[in-house]
């Protein structure tokens, strides 16, 4: 745990210290950073209104780690609260909302004290807080508290959900400072030249676009010649192209020579907010959906009308009551006529006002999840000063969730039933509720998104009827780091199965839910479980996965079984959702992000220029030393065929593999811990001195290329060797981690005694290194690949085989290869990665990275935060409403991309499934040819020629080629008389599993004109 001094002024709390438990907040730290987390850990937050929206905000804020949270509600629980309030139980109806809620919120994060308040909010009470959130209040109360917050420099957030409509208002004061508006890592660019001019032009190396935009500020480092820039204040730039930008007057500077790095400088931004009283009449809107650009002013009027309606009538408009709807629309027109300011709309949308009134009594869990995540992120912005806040009004609606035929939504059908689902029935009616309860869905993954989806589904009543069911599978166990965002889990659940624990948690939220937890991985190995019978019963699948391969697999299964798929993902404050509808939209796999750009081999081996390069080099080094080589040695000890199999490998692989075994079992096998330290010291010398000295011998500092240019010009960095110094912490960290990993591999006792290791390493004698002539060092990837693709050196292989010790002579030696594990701070893995990378960075003059950044990059960690997960799960659940409604038009559904940091909300219609054609027949990926009776290959081919005018040239099943026009005639004729399943068994040399009820064939065909055409796959029913 990291302890930091209180950064507050002492007026808003009594804690003298704030604590950040990095094992709990690890993923969130990569989103916010330590400074923002420190500021959050000194802020006290008040959240008023403990229905669905309020508890969502409280949950996310507590998970985020503010100093304390006070929840306020003057009322008692009613049955309809259970539509969206996941911490209330039916037996608690009539009890205090605040009292019941605070008990369960307190379990979420032991570092955040949570208290309850049931009295009226007073000015004196409000002074205690850094942020006040109102989720259930009258306009009069909002105006009063707005003034009190302004007077005391307290951030105010007002939020409200009414059915499928949502509202947020933010006021962070007259001059609010945002330290980092985006949260993205600063862009960097390596410099090729800088001109001396009234508007100096910086030209970057043409390998990568600089990524800057007009108005950015940059700082400079490592510039040679024009050194004045290295110590200058950040300069505002004007972008003139993807590789060039202007930086202002450089005429007074020295002449530029070579090198340099331009780095984006994050500049504080001042944001002005108007108080509520003024902002009501002069609103600034954040667009949430550009297809509804005219909606925010209308919704601003609708919410204002609702306050006045409640004031006059003493209640909300009744669900789908025509009289109340008309009355509401008339009042809206009356209020609009009296509005002074830009809030006045040219023409009141009477239809929208009636829709607003019809569902204003509704309370939907998905809407609360979405808006609760948005509001909680604004709370975090207010206290951390990181990311750009909403200025000032944000309106959102999801009216597409309503049925296409609104005539079914009658006052009778939508009236309260005294049911826990009354908040949802008010919007969609009783009939739709029954339909939800009878659904069967498969949720894949019980992590952050999975937990949120299960909570939403339980409160919606999905799968809660007699015929309904939810299947949830996840093969993982709960880790401590999960608790920060996977809110169904508690500290006492660590090391329990995620799926089982999540199922138990939502069963408490709604005992009626029929949920079946499983601990299976989805993939080829579980197709006997998730087979035809399993998928045939489903209404849809919701992915909550953390890797692309599993997503693509589930996507293929949904396409095959023609099932809707709800896809989603998060990356820090960014999130996306995609809805896949059979015979309507493209599939998830139809479009993918470009592959991650790989680091060139030569850059890693000899010419790194960024910390990412040295970290990847350290990862590769770890894998070679502590995983691959020990695995080879372990296989040699256990597998008598290892040597023969290894000798059959291509290229240099036999030599490398056998060399690693000889080293592990003969040359570098330690007898005791002292030998491990000795080995680590020699490794240090080889990596950080000898190899660098040899590189400089081959390519001296003043080396020129054939063209006469400096060899060590950017992006190359000229390195320097390191001399070992046991008083240098990084040097000693490397020795300790390397020696201990070596010890663990051989079953020796590791040591953490710094004095012991220092004394041992200082006693190691290291021979003086002399560079050798004739050593070839690859300068390009082509040279490196050519060196690795040479012929196997048979003579060397034979010598190595003779050097291998007989297994029986090793006395039962056991080897323990190390699989890299970033999250265990006691296993020396990250200690080695950090020290190895930073030493190589020192070789090349690259700025080092701390453990936090190193773990992010080397561990390929996906930053995560609870707010984004909440938002994404809400959007997914809104799309589920539409699927259950039976919507069938593209424009009814929405794909989304959100970035809460900016904040940015982009909604778009899904992309239609691409249409293809053969012989005049149009088809999409959702179509397939069906074969429903046994056929020989001859009959199969004739069927397509006769009925579809398609001539099959090749036929395959999975990786097995069953037929092709170029096959030998005898084999072709033999297979022509065989039944299709028999050919599959013969070619694959495997039986067809009992659970398989159909085979999928891919065919290559020529159409009736002899042209090669794409066609659907074939489903051959057994």
Please give the C-alpha separations between residue 215 and each of 208, 243, 251, in angstroms, as whole numbers: 20, 16, 21
Other CB atoms within 10 A of residue 636 CB = 24
Other CB atoms within 10 A of residue 292 CB = 16
Other CB atoms within 10 A of residue 427 CB = 27
Q: What is the DSSP letter of 393?
A: E
- Dist. CA 529–CA 524, nearest whole Å: 10
Q: Quick check: is 602 catalytic?
A: yes
The three-state DSSP-derived secondary structure of 783-831 is: HHHHHHCCCCCHHHHHHHHHHCCCHHHHCCCCCCCCCCCCCCCCCCHHH
- Dist. CA 400–CA 398, nearest whole Å: 5
Tokens of 511: 């005992």
Tokens of 355: 């829709």
- Dist. CA 698–CA 695, nearest whole Å: 5
**DSSP for 123-152?**
HHHHTT-SEEEESS--HHHHHHHHHHHHHT
Please identify which of the residues 321, 401, 451, 602 carries the catalytic annotation. 602
- Which of 774-810 are b and which e, b meaning 16 or more Cβ less than 10 Å from the residue's Cβ? eeebbbeeeebeeeeeeebeeeebeebbeeeeeeeeb
Strand order in the sheet with 574-580: 515-518, 469-473, 440-444, 540-543, 565-571, 574-580, 895-899, 904-908
| Strand-pair partners of 760 | none
Tell me whether strands 114-117 and 131-134 are parallel, antiparallel or unpaired: unpaired
Tokens of 691: 């190899």
Locus of tokens 């105006």: 143
Other CB atoms within 10 A of residue 980 CB = 22
Please give the C-alpha separations between residue 1014 and each of 357, 415, 556, 953, in angstroms, as whole numbers: 52, 53, 18, 12
Other CB atoms within 10 A of residue 561 CB = 15
Nearest CA among 505, 491, 368, 373 for reference residue 64: 373
Burial of 278 (0-12, 13-18, 19+ CB in 10 A): middle
Nearest CA among 654, 662, 661 for reference residue 632: 661
CA 29 remoteness from chain centre: 14
**DSSP for 885-929?**
HT--SGGGS-EEEEETTTTEEEEEPPPBPPPEEETTEEE-TT-EE
Locus of tokens 């300011």: 341
List, by residue number, the catalytic residues.
Answer: 602
């Amino acid at each position: 745990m990291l302890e930091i001094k209180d950064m507050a002024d002492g007026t808003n709390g009594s804690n003298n210290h704030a604590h950040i438990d990095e094992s709990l907040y690890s993923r969130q730290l990569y989103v916010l950073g330590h400074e923002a987390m420190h500021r959050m850990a000194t802020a006290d937050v008040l959240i008023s209104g403990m229905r669905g929206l309020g508890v969502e905000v409280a949950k996310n804020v507590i998970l985020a780690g503010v100093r304390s949270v006070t929840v306020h509600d003057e009322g008692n629980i009613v049955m309809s609260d259970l539509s969206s309030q996941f911490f209330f139980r039916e037996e608690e109806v009539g009890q205090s909302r605040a009292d019941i809620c605070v008990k369960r919120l307190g379990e979420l994060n032991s570092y955040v004290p949570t208290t309850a308040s049931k009295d009226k909010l007073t000015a004196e009470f409000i002074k205690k807080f850094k942020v006040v959130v109102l989720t259930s209040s009258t306009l009069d109360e909002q105006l009063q508290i707005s003034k009190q917050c302004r007077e005391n420099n307290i951030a105010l957030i007002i939020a409200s959900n009414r059915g499928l409509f949502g509202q947020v208002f933010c006021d962070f004061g007259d001059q609010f400072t945002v330290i980092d508006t985006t949260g993205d890592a600063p862009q960097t660019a390596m410099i090729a030249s800088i001109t001396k001019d009234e508007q100096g032009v910086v030209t970057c190396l043409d390998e990568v676009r600089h990524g800057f935009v007009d108005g950015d500020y940059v700082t400079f480092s490592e510039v040679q010649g024009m050194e004045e820039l290295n110590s200058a204040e950040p300069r505002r730039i004007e972008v003139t192209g993807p590789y060039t930008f202007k930086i202002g007057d450089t005429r007074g500077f020295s002449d530029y020579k070579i090198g340099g790095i331009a780095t984006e400088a994050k500049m504080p931004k001042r944001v002005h907010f108007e108080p509520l009283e003024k902002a009501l009449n002069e609103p600034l809107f954040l667009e949430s959906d550009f297809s509804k650009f005219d909606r925010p002013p209308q919704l601003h009027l609708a919410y204002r009308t609702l306050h006045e309606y409640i004031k006059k009538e003493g209640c909300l408009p009744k669900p789908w009551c025509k009289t109340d709807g008309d009355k509401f629309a008339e009042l809206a027109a009356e209020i609009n006529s009296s509005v002074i300011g830009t809030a006045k709309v040219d023409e009141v949308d009477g239809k929208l006002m009636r829709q607003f009134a019809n569902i204003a009594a509704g309370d939907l869990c998905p809407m609360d999840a979405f808006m609760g995540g948005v509001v909680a992120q604004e709370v975090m912005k207010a206290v951390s000063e990181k990311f750009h806040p909403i200025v000032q009004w944000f309106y959102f609606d999801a009216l597409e969730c309503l049925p296409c035929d609104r005539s079914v939504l009658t006052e009778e059908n939508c009236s309260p039933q005294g049911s826990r689902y009354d908040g949802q029935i008010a919007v969609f009616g009783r009939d739709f509720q029954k339909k939800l309860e009878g659904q069967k869905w498969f949720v894949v993954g019980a992590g952050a998104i999975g937990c949120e989806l299960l909570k939403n589904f339980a409160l919606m009543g999905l799968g809660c009827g007699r015929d309904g069911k939810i299947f949830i599978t996840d093969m993982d166990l709960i880790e401590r780091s999960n608790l920060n965002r996977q809110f169904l889990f508690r500290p006492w659940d660590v090391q329990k199965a995620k799926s089982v624990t999540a199922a138990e948690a939502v069963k408490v939220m709604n005992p009626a839910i029929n949920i079946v937890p499983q601990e299976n991985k989805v993939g080829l190995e579980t197709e006997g479980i998730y087979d035809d019978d399993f998928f045939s019963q489903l209404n849809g699948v919701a992915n909550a996965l953390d890797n692309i391969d599993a997503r693509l697999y589930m996507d293929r299964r949904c396409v095959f079984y023609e099932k809707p798929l709800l896809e989603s993902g998060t990356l820090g404050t960014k999130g996306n959702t995609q809805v896949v509808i059979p015979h309507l939209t493209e599939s998830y796999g139809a479009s993918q992000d470009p592959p991650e750009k790989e680091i060139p081999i030569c850059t890693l081996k000899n010419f790194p220029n960024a910390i990412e390069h040295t970290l990847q080099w350290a990862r590769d080094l770890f894998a070679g030393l502590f995983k691959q080589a020990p695995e080879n040695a372990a296989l040699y000890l256990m597998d008598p065929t290892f040597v023969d199999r290894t000798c059959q490998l291509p290229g240099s692989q036999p030599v490398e593999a056998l060399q690693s075994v000889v080293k592990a079992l003969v040359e570098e096998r330690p007898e005791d811990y002292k030998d491990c330290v000795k080995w680590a010291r020699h490794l240090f010398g080889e990596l950080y001195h000898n190899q660098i000295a040899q590189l400089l011998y081959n390519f001296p500092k003043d080396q020129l290329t054939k063209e006469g240019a400096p060899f060590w010009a950017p992006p190359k960095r000229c390195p320097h060797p390191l001399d070992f110094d046991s008083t240098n912490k990084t040097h000693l960290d490397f020795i300790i981690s390397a020696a201990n990993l070596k010890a663990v591999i051989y079953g020796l006792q590791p040591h953490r005694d710094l004095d012991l290791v220092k004394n041992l390493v200082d006693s190691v004698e290291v021979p003086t290194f002399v560079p050798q002539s004739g050593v070839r060092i690859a300068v390009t990837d082509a040279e490196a690949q050519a060196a690795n693709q040479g012929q196997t050196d048979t003579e060397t292989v034979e010598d190595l085989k003779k050097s291998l010790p007989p297994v029986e002579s090793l006395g039962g030696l056991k080897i323990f290869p190390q699989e890299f594990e970033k999250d265990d701070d006691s296993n020396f893995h990250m200690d080695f990665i950090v020290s190895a990378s930073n030493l190589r960075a020192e070789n090349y003059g690259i700025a080092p990275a701390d453990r936090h950044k190193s773990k992010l990059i080397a561990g390929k960690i996906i930053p995560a935060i609870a707010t984004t997960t909440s938002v994404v799960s809400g959007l997914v659940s809104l799309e589920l409403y539409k699927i259950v409604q039976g919507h069938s038009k593209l424009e009814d559904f929405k794909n989304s991309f959100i970035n809460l940091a900016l904040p940015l909300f982009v909604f778009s219609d899904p992309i239609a499934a691409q249409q293809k054609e053969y012989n005049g027949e149009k088809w999409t990926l959702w179509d397939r040819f069906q074969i429903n009776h046994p056929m020989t290959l001859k009959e199969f081919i004739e069927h397509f020629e006769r009925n579809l005018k398609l001539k099959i040239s090749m036929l395959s099943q999975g990786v097995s080629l069953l037929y092709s026009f170029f096959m030998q005639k005898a084999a072709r004729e033999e297979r022509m008389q065989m039944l299709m399943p028999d050919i599959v068994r013969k070619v694959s040399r495997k039986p067809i599993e009992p659970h398989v009820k159909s085979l999928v064939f891919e065919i290559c065909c020529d159409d009736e004109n002899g042209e090669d055409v794409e066609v659907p796959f074939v489903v051959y029913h057994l």
